Amino acid sequence: MDQFWNQVNESSEHIWLASSDDSITPTNPLNNGQQVVAGELTMPLFLTSTGFVTLAGSALAHTDITGQQVTVQVQQGATYRITTPATAFVGPPQTFSFDVSLVDEFGDPMPAANNWFNIHALKSNLEPASSLLQITSAQMANGSVTVTGQAYDTVEDIVLWISDTAGRSSYSSTIEMLANGLVYVVTMDAPEQPRVGPPATFPISVMLRDVDTHTIVDEDRRLDVAVMSALGGPGLGTVGTVSQRLDHGVISFQQSYTRSENIYVTVTDTLGLSGSSPVFAILADGYKRLQIIAPGESVEAGDPTFEATGKSGTPTVQRSGELFPVTVRAVDQYWNLADSTNVGRLRLVASDNSFADAGNPQENWVPFVNGRRTFNGFLTDEGTVSVTVYDEDDLAKPSQSSHIPVDPPYAYEITVPATASTGPVPGFQVTIKLIDPVTGNVVPVAMNRFYLTALLPNRGAANGTLGITESQLVGGAAVLNSQSYSTVEDIIIRVTDDFGREAFSGIIAMDSGGLYFAVTIPDTAVVGPPETFPLVVELLDSNTGERVTTQDRLFNISVMSAQTGMAGAGAVEVVQGILSGGIRTVHQAYSRSEDIFIQVADTTGITGISNTCHMLADGFKRIQIVAPGETPEPGALTGDGKDGEPLTQQAEVPFTLTLRAVDQYWNLADYVSNGTVNLSSSGGQLDVVDPADQGAPFINGSRDVEVVLGNPGVVAVFATDPAHPAASSGRVDIPVNEAEYRIILPDPAVVTAGPPSTFTVTVRLENPETGERIAAGGGFEMTALLPDRNGARDTLGISTAKLVDGESVVRGQYYATSEQIVIRVRDDRGRESFSDVLTVVPEGVRYAMDVPDTVIAGQPFVMTVKRVDIVTGQLVTSDDRNFTLTAFSGNSPRPDFNLSPAGILADSVGTTVGGERQFMSQTYDRAESIYLEVADGTGEQAYSDVIVVLPAPPAVVELWAEDMPGHVLDRPLRPDETVMMHMRATDEAGNAVQHTDVTIQIIAGDGTLGGAKRQASTLLVDVDGRASIDMSVLPYGTRNVRLQAVSGELVSDVVLLEVIGPPVTAISLDPDGALFRDGYYVTPNTEISLSATTEDLGGIQTIFVDVDVVDPPRPVAVYTGTFSLADLGPAFAASGQHTLRFYAEESSGVVETVRTVVLYTAKDMDTQRQITNRPNPFNPREGSTMILFRPPSSGAVTLTLYDLYGDVVFTDQLVVSAGELVQYPWDGHNGQRRVVANGGYICRIHGSGMDLRRKIAVVK
């Protein structure tokens, strides 16, 4: 518009629109900042704030044009209203729903809204959420929609953000995503089995995850870490880490444990939630030391309580001279057994030198066996003896000792009568005991034999003979009641044994006797205790029959069976008595119901025998079950009152049990003829053959019952009598075996493979002990196996059948594979039997081949050559042959013998074994289609299907450069020159690999690849396995280019392309200029010289140079020789900064990059000033300051720099000539080569009659 608001036909001005509410964005309006057309520009836009908003338009090209503002009222537009649940469970499978409405300023849904909108998840602080929503967009339907099936899989608080293409957006309230349940996942991530430690550790990872989504729950929790034994309970070893803390729901740490065992790691948080790792084994850390374990000591590997010795307990007391075991273990530093140790030369040493004797221990100087060795030896010295073990092959291994207490050896105590009668009847008593001399007690474990010898009291040889010269200790003692001696004389008895122990008895006076005992008992009595009967014993004179009252003595009582005349099998209550006034009445008890008599004898050989007494049972107290193989043996105080073991019975075969009503001593209560006896079993399927026997009464104290047991094993049978509740029940454990199947094959056992050929098999169930058929029913299954019981190659045609009266004739059976088999029969009861070998022969035989349809060139594949039945097509194991394999080209519908394949078949000959030959590593090395022919010496042939041989994965990547097609680059490259790089990928056999990615990369040097000038490029090889790309040297490149091709993990050889760089120009100054920043300090008269060098044979054509020229970008003036700034004119000689540019060009046209040097100029030194420096002040980090002076005289001078405190900072010696300008650069470093601090410094030059001074300022 002009000043009068007339529209101007203007099309060059750009208009910019702005708003006070910052609604204007790069895309709102889209044409902001564009040109007007005919003086006008229409801008579509939207405002985001409600209320009054100011819009301002301004011109961009002509800022002097006055802009204009306008204020507009903006009402609330349509907004999204989102209704969400307060909480939801993570999922899927759990989902939640929410409502979205597009409402106007009054909150009412807009019925015309059917637009799509986007749904995003944000954290509660509106940062991006950790995961994605399952539903990310939805469409409005008449202004509102309910989004169902929404899911989010991470436990955290989220906010839903709704946005659409119109720029509208809205946020929901916070939704708390709840876990479905938490679980700790604990894993041990070591790549190999861990070992005890430290120092060894193993990695543990812990994750807190949701039970449904398996996502990690972002929580920090304190964890208690424990190691548990796989056998139950906490591990006894030392745990390295016992506390950890989750970091955002996960933690990984290194754990250690000192005990070698199967363990698992558990974690428990403060809320009681716990988790465990799988069980894994901790191995010992190898053979590090020796450990010795004596009886009484226990191994405590890895337990910190026993870390000093690795064992607990104290050695048990050993007996001098008696063998005992000692175990030596190869252990690690924590006493864990190194069970793979089978080396070493172990030697036991005892502090009493007892192990120096031959054969003690029984073996010594021996190696470990699986980390252990047990020695058997004895110690001799009493007290405490130290036993130490050494490894003579490695004495550096720490040894260990065990301190073993040793008691003196056991001694015999012999008790004999002072007098005794000679002869075998009645004999005399000798008691021998083995006594512990420490405690004085009998040794209860002694069971050794001993020997008796009669000697005179002076220990000389006796004249007579002992009746018993050898016996055995039982529980440490032996009582010989019927010892005898043949001669009347005083003797002693010597006792010896195989352990070298020896003892002597007291003196025995041997004499003769003439007395006897009269013994009386009742005719009947009840077994006992508690019942007793009177036993009267009198000592009578054999001549007068009168009682002898003056020789009272001890007598022994024996109960004898009246039926056998042998000692009674029952228990006797009183076995000794003492006469009083020549008589004694004893209240005797005996436990066996039978006819008995009593025999009485004293130590002098006087005896007596009673009358016969019938012992009665003590009533019905319990039930006894007698099985076949058992015999009742009543009268015992302990045991089951039976002799023998139950015989093995046959399942499902009847046998007889005898039930007896007995008293507490298993005596038959034969007067019991009532009761209701019931039988049962523990899982044995007991059946009573005659139902009338179940619940029937006893008859004369017993009853025979015929029963059947159905299951094999050891079956417990119980008997009870409800009619006699006071009587205890009976039990017997009966072993039961199973019936066996007998399989009858055709005779001879040779059949033809089928179908159609079949054969008949008969299966019969028999008693394995008698061979009789068992009339049973039931089904069974039949399976074909090889004779070695491994699985056969085929299955039987009929696999199940049923017994009828114990037998099944299976007709129409068949087997398709020609081989030897056995038939296994098995039923639901677990019974199993095998037939004899059955030979299956074929109808005819041919070759068959199993080959894959596709293989990889050069890589092994599996193929099988078989001999098969011409009818069934199944394997024939009895017709093995030698054969050859030949490969033919597959490029014709049938094998064409004129087409020879290019490759080599790895395995070309073979022999079938058991009807087949499997080649596990057959290979063919060329990528083409082939057939295989199998043939043998008989002329029989067969052909395989077509095998497509594909190239193998790339094995070789080649890389080379060509400067022209087909010509390999053989010369150096120059800057800006381009060559072609070629790559080829082949497999190990040289086959081209198609359609694989190959990356070429520049490892180093001044080069780029392709038109995009990249350092690396990925190409797809063609059908020949090739790919190409051009490589260019940088315009001013100097460095040789090194390239390499990569395909997957394959890399080519590095290709080095030599680069001859551009020419190089050097500058020299006379006199030398001081370096400063990016140039030099010079004077107008400093002579400047340029020289260029090149490796090109054509040499340098010219050098171009200029000073203080900006345009053109490269100098155009030819350098003709040395010059100074003063030569260029007064403007260049003035003090200040001048820019020198130059570059060289070769005869070949290659140029170097333009080089720029800044020259800082000042006036020549004032002849009136003897010393100065430039620059001053100066920064040592940017360069040196040049000290200039003209010495008034010649000679040696000292240059010294002082700080303001007078301390020497730097010094140097110079030799100068009078009147000549001396330039000395100082780089701001002191004598220790350290940069000096900011401040002022005094430079003094003195000597040869001069003393010059100058203040120099340093500013950093």
pLDDT for position 550: 67
CA separation, residue 1163 to residues 779, 1086, 1171 (Å):
126, 11, 14
pLDDT for position 581: 85
Burial group, residue 583, by CB count within 10 angstroms (0-12, 13-18, 19+): middle
Domain with CATH 2.60.40.10 in the chain: 182-281, 411-511, 515-616, 740-841, 845-950, 956-1055, 1064-1161
Question: Taking the domain 515-616, which CATH number applies?
Answer: 2.60.40.10
Closest CA to 1156 of 1112, 1114, 1093, 1111: 1114
pLDDT at 1218 over 50: yes
Q: What is the DSSP letter of 720?
A: E
Strand runs labelled E in 261-377: 262-269, 274-276, 280-281, 289-293, 298-299, 311-312, 318-319, 324-331, 346-350, 372-377
Reduce the DSSP state of residue 1083 to 3 states and report it. Answer: coil
pLDDT at 486 over 80: no
DSSP calls for 1092-1155: EE-SSTT-EEEEEEEES--SSSS--SBP-S-B-GGGG-HHHHSSEEEEEEEEEEETTS-BPPPE
Tens digit of each residue's pLDDT (9 = 90 or more) over 827-863: 887 889 999 999 999 988 999 999 999 999 888 999 9
pLDDT for position 1076: 73
pLDDT for position 49: 75
Tens digit of each residue's pLDDT (9 = 90 or more) over 327-345: 999 999 999 999 999 999 9
Kindly report the average pLDDT of the chain as a whole number.
90
Tens digit of each residue's pLDDT (9 = 90 or more) over 1039-1072: 999 999 999 889 999 999 999 999 999 999 988 8
Q: What is the mean pLDDT of residues 1184-1191?
A: 91
pLDDT at 781 over 70: yes
Closest CA to 1071 of 1080, 1060, 1063, 1062: 1080
Contacts of residue 1233, defined as CB under 8 A and 6 or more positions apart, other chains included, come to: none
Reduce the DSSP state of residue 886 to 3 states and report it. Answer: strand
Question: Taking the domain 845-950, which CATH number applies?
Answer: 2.60.40.10
pLDDT tier at 1167 (50, 70, 90 boundaries)?
A: very low
pLDDT tier at 1162 (50, 70, 90 boundaries)?
A: low
Q: What is the mean pLDDT of residues 361-372?
A: 93
pLDDT at 980 over 60: yes
How many angstroms separate the CA atoms of 372 and 389, rounded? 12
DSSP calls for 845-869: EEEEEE--SEEETTS-EEEEEEEEE
User: Which CATH architecture does the domain made up of 411-511 adopt?
Assistant: Sandwich (2.60)
pLDDT at 919 over 90: yes
pLDDT for position 539: 85
pLDDT at 1205 over 60: yes
Given the DSSP bridges, would you call strands 298-299 and 311-312 parallel, antiparallel or unpaired?
A: antiparallel
pLDDT for position 1095: 85
Question: Taking the domain 82-157+165-178, which CATH number applies?
Answer: 2.60.40
Q: What is the mean pLDDT of residues 1065-1091?
A: 86
pLDDT for position 541: 58
Domain with CATH 2.60.40.1930 in the chain: 289-407
Closest CA to 696 of 716, 673, 676: 676
pLDDT at 310 over 50: yes
Tens digit of each residue's pLDDT (9 = 90 or more) over 559-580: 999 888 899 999 999 999 999 9
How many angstroms separate the CA atoms of 1152 and 808, rounded? 106
Q: Which is more confident, 775 or 251?
A: 251
Contacts of residue 67, defined as CB under 8 A and 6 or more positions apart, other chains included, come to: 56, 57, 58, 59
Give the 3-state secondary structure of 395-436: CCCCCEEEEEEEECCCEEEEECCCEEECCCCCCEEEEEEEEC
pLDDT for position 68: 87
What is the assigned CATH class of domain 182-281? Answer: mainly beta
CB 909 within 8 A of CB 885: yes
pLDDT for position 1070: 87
How many angstroms separate the CA atoms of 627 and 656, rounded? 7
pLDDT for position 401: 95
| Phi and psi, residue 1126, nearest 5° | -65, -30
Q: What is the mean pLDDT of residues 208-214?
A: 89
Residue type, 696: A
CATH 2.40.280.10 fits 289-407, yes or no: no
CB 1081 within 8 A of CB 1096: no
Q: Is the peptide bond before 1035 cis (omega within 30 degrees of 0)?
A: no
Q: What is the mean pLDDT of residues 355-382?
A: 91
pLDDT at 1176 over 60: yes
Query: What b/e string do you get for 782-793 counting C-beta neighbours within 10 Å, with b at 16 or more?
Result: bbbebeeeeebb
pLDDT at 511 over 70: no
Partners of residue 319 on adjacent β-strands: 407
Tens digit of each residue's pLDDT (9 = 90 or more) over 630-674: 999 999 988 999 999 998 888 877 899 999 999 999 999 999 999
Fold classification of 740-841 is Immunoglobulin-like (2.60.40)
Q: What is the mean pLDDT of residues 1019-1041?
A: 92
Q: What is the mean pLDDT of residues 187-216?
A: 93
pLDDT for position 1165: 46
pLDDT at 512 over 70: no
Tens digit of each residue's pLDDT (9 = 90 or more) over 712-727: 888 999 999 999 999 9
Q: What is the mean pLDDT of residues 1231-1244?
A: 90
pLDDT at 357 over 90: no
308: alpha, beta or left, given left = phi > 0 and alpha = psi -120 to 50? Answer: alpha
How many angstroms separate the CA atoms of 154 and 883, rounded? 65
1064-1161 CATH choice from 3.90.230.10, 3.40.50.300, 2.40.30.30, 2.60.40.10: 2.60.40.10
Q: Please report, rounded to a whole number, the percentage of residues in the chain having pLDDT higher than 90.
A: 60
Q: Please report, rounded to a whole number, the percentage of residues in the chain having pLDDT higher than 70.
A: 97
Reported as type and span, the H/E element at residue 213 is: none
pLDDT for position 793: 87
How many angstroms separate the CA atoms of 470 and 454, rounded? 12
Q: What is the mean pLDDT of residues 274-285?
A: 95
Question: Taking the domain 1171-1258, which CATH number applies?
Answer: 2.60.40.4070
956-1055 CATH choice from 2.60.40.10, 3.30.360.10, 1.10.15.40, 3.60.21.10: 2.60.40.10
622-732 CATH choice from 1.10.3470, 1.20.1070, 2.60.40, 1.10.150: 2.60.40
pLDDT for position 320: 87
pLDDT tier at 1166 (50, 70, 90 boundaries)?
A: very low
pLDDT at 545 over 50: yes
